[in-house]
């Protein structure tokens, strides 16, 4: 059978050219793989959910006589199936892990300079993947159609609709009309969430991995000492694939136990949507944006060529947009002439490392601002807008200078070394 296939498909050529390629080993290289495993689990659990979910807000009557939207009723049905709530929770928590792992993977790429020549293109594909993963998670928010889901999605609708000139069209594409209100919103978000966005993610992940295999992975620094000019690692098949298999099994096992122990909130906790909006906060990866919206005063509003530029646009689109543009330009600003083979050490690049730390502090402080109302209720000084602005702007600045000074003291002139030229 193998011989028959080999004669036709040149399997042994593929085995030699791709599967016997050495893959460098370092624990930080597993972050990209964990992102991949989370995506696979999301697709598998998602298939189960699609088989039992009804993407509609038509009224249905439950056995207890209540009339609720069909989407809401179908989540009750899923939770009532054997292991239904666990599979739904596995899907829920895997979305969190995928975004967290992709973000940590991005940090690894940034801290080690792996975005430089020749990997600029794959870095851009990676950025698109992170953006798509966040948008895919957002389109899944509304689907349970409980009061929490509707309130949280309403914030996103407001941000999308606030974009000057194109906001109306974007909101129409994503929500099929006003949200909440339009009957087309759930079917529209559903098709984006289960078909178009995962398809795009799968295609881009394939491209990302193909480019990585073609360009070869960067190597840890010790490889330069141990085997200069060679690739120090294990063959893709069988060693690397066996390691990946074990890690995947571990991932599924640990996540299944966690999902069983910490179920995603039951829809009954918030009930079907009502005109009253509960005080909800979005998930952690949107909390920094939510925080910015809390501290931008309503008075930050002006007209520009007939369009209204308001707080929702400034906090929800302009500031993240500026960060995205900086991230996109990075590999074309921080460059190197030779092809990078060995990882750069964070200690050798104090400016870059300090800027990354400052960015993390910015995210943390903006996330803290997301709790502004809670702080105000407790009478804490953190409920004050001026204090929160000082933390959001001053915290990153202080972090940058402190980190830079400390790195200079501890690592001296290490930055001037140019390691790992090809
Ligand atoms: C859905 C999201 C993603 C998946 C599934 C994914 C998967 C992977 C995998 C498995 C690797 C090889 C192992 C490793 O280095 O960790 C890799 C490498 C790489 N990824 Fe990603 N990635 C994703 C997102 C990103 C993001 C957000 C970025 C940065 C913007 C990025 C940039 C890169 C680069 C530059 C490499 C080559 C690294 C090197 O050679 O050192 N990826 N990715």
Q: Which atom of ligand 1 approaches the CA of 127 most closely?
A: 30
Q: Which pLDDT score, from 0 to 100, does residue 20 have?
A: 87
Q: Which pLDDT score, from 0 to 100, does residue 421 have?
A: 43
Cα-based angle 189, 140, 73 (whole degrees, multiple of 5): 85
Does one domain contain both 74 and 34?
yes
Q: Which pLDDT score, from 0 to 100, does residue 21 have?
A: 84
For residue 422, being part of any structural domain is answered with no
Determine the number of helices (DSSP H) and then strands (DSSP E) in the chain: 18, 6
Residue 128 structural domain: 18-344
121 CA to middle of ligand 1, Å? 11
Higher pLDDT, 415 or 203: 203
The share of the chain scoring above pLDDT 90, in percent, equals 82
Domain boundary among 317, 344, 371: 344
Mean pLDDT of 59-83: 97
The SS3 of residue 420 is: coil
Terminal C-alpha separation, the chain: 42
Mean pLDDT of 256-262: 97
For residue 1, being part of any structural domain is answered with no
Task: State pLDDT tens for residues 107-138.
Answer: 999 999 999 999 999 999 999 999 999 999 99
- Pocket, ligand 1, Cβ cutoff 6 A: 29, 31-33, 35-36, 39, 102, 105-106, 109, 114-115, 119, 122-123, 126-127, 129-130, 133, 205, 208, 212, 217-218
Tokens of 327: 């991230």
ipTM above 0.85, yes or no: yes
| 271: exposed, middle or buried (Cβ count in 10 Å: 0-12, 13-18, 19+) | middle
Question: Across the chain, what does the average pLDDT equal?
Answer: 94
Tokens of 138: 């957002």
User: Distance between CA 199 and CA 231 in Å, rounded?
Assistant: 34
Say whether pLDDT at 327 is over 80: yes
Q: Which pLDDT score, from 0 to 100, does residue 135 have?
A: 96
Does one domain contain both 329 and 372?
no
Count of domains for the chain:
2
For residue 190, being part of any structural domain is answered with yes
Does one domain contain both 407 and 372?
yes
Q: Which pLDDT score, from 0 to 100, does residue 271 have?
A: 94
386 CA to middle of ligand 1, Å? 39
Domain boundary among 344, 361, 383: 344
Furthest CA-CA distance within the chain: 76
Q: What is the pTM of this model?
A: 0.94
Which among 41, 50, 51 has a CA at the least distance from the CA of 193?
Answer: 50
Does one domain contain both 66 and 88?
yes
Does one domain contain both 115 and 98?
yes
420 — pLDDT class (breaks 50, 70, 90): very low
**Pair 234, 25: CB distance under 8 Å:** yes
Mean pLDDT of 144-155: 92
Does one domain contain both 292 and 378?
no
Does one domain contain both 28 and 177?
yes
Q: Which pLDDT score, from 0 to 100, does residue 414 have?
A: 54
Residues 6+ apart with CB under 8 A from 273: 69, 145, 146, 147, 150, 180
Higher pLDDT, 25 or 261: 261
Backbone phi and psi for residue 266, each to the nearest 5 degrees, phi listed first: -70, 145
For residue 9, being part of any structural domain is answered with no
**E-strand stretches of 50-183:** 59-61, 67-69
- Exposure class string for 391-407: b at 16+ Cβ within 10 A, else e: bbeebbeebbeebbeeb
**Pair 289, 316: CB distance under 8 Å:** yes
For residue 277, being part of any structural domain is answered with yes
Domain boundary among 291, 316, 344: 344
Task: State pLDDT tens for residues 164-211.
Answer: 889 989 988 889 888 888 889 999 999 999 999 999 999 999 999 999
**Pair 56, 71: CB distance under 8 Å:** yes
**Pair 365, 392: CB distance under 8 Å:** yes
Residues 6+ apart with CB under 8 A from 133: 98, 99, 102, 201
138 CA to middle of ligand 1, Å? 22
Least confident interval from 143-157, 189-203, 316-330, 370-384: 143-157
126 CA to middle of ligand 1, Å? 6
Does one domain contain both 171 and 206?
yes
CATH code, 198: 1.20.810.10
- Best of 35, 42, 107, 111 for a ligand 1 pocket test (most atoms within 8 Å of beta carbon): 35
Say whether pLDDT at 422 is over 70: no
Higher pLDDT, 332 or 177: 332
Least confident interval from 198-212, 268-282, 358-372, 377-391: 268-282
Q: Which pLDDT score, from 0 to 100, does residue 413 have?
A: 63
């Amino acid at each position: 059978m193998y011989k028959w296939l080999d004669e036709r498909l040149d399997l042994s050529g593929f085995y030699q050219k791709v599967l016997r390629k050495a893959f460098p080993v370092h624990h930080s290289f597993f972050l990209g793989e964990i992102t991949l495993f989370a995506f696979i689990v999301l697709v598998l659990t998602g298939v189960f959910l699609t088989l039992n979910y009804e993407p509609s807000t038509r009224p249905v009557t439950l056995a207890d006589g209540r009339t609720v939207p069909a989407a809401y009723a179908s989540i009750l049905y899923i939770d009532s199936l054997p292991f239904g709530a666990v599979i739904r929770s596995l899907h829920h928590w895997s979305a969190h892990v995928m975004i967290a792992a992709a973000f940590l993977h991005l940090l690894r790429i940034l801290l080690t300079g792996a975005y430089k020549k020749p990997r600029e293109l794959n870095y851009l594909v990676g950025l698109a993947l992170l953006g798509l993963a966040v948008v895919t998670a957002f389109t899944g928010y509304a689907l349970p159609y409980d009061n929490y889901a509707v309130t949280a999605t309403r914030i996103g609708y407001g941000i999308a609709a606030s974009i000057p000139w194109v906001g109306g069209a974007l909101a129409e594409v994503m929500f099929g009309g006003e949200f909440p209100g339009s009957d087309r919103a759930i079917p529209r978000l559903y098709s984006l969430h289960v078909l178009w966005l995962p398809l795009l993610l799968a295609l881009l992940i394939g491209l990302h991995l193909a480019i990585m295999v073609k360009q070869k992975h960067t190597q840890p620094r010790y490889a330069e000492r141990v085997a200069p000019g060679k690739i120090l690692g294990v063959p893709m098949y069988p060693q690397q694939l066996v390691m990946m298999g074990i890690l995947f099994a571990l991932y599924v096992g640990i996540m299944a136990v966690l999902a069983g122990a910490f179920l995603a909130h039951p829809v009954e906790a918030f009930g079907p949507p009502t005109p009253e909006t509960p005080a909800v906060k979005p998930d952690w990866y949107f909390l920094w944006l939510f925080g910015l919206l809390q501290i931008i005063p309503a008075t930050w509003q002006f007209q520009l060529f007939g369009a209204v530029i308001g707080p929702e646009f400034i906090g929800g689109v302009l500031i993240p947009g500026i960060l995205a543009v900086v991230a996109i330009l990075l590999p074309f600003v921080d460059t190197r002439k030779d092809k990078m083979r060995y990882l750069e050490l964070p200690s050798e690049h104090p400016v870059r490392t300090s800027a990354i730390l400052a960015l993390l502090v910015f995210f943390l402080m903006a996330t803290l601002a997301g709790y502004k109302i809670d702080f105000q209720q407790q009478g804490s000084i953190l409920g004050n807008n001026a204090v929160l602005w000082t933390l959001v702007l001053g915290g990153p600045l202080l972090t940058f200078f402190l980190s830079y000074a400390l790195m200079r003291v501890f690592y001296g002139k290490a930055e001037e070394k140019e390691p790992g030229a090809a």
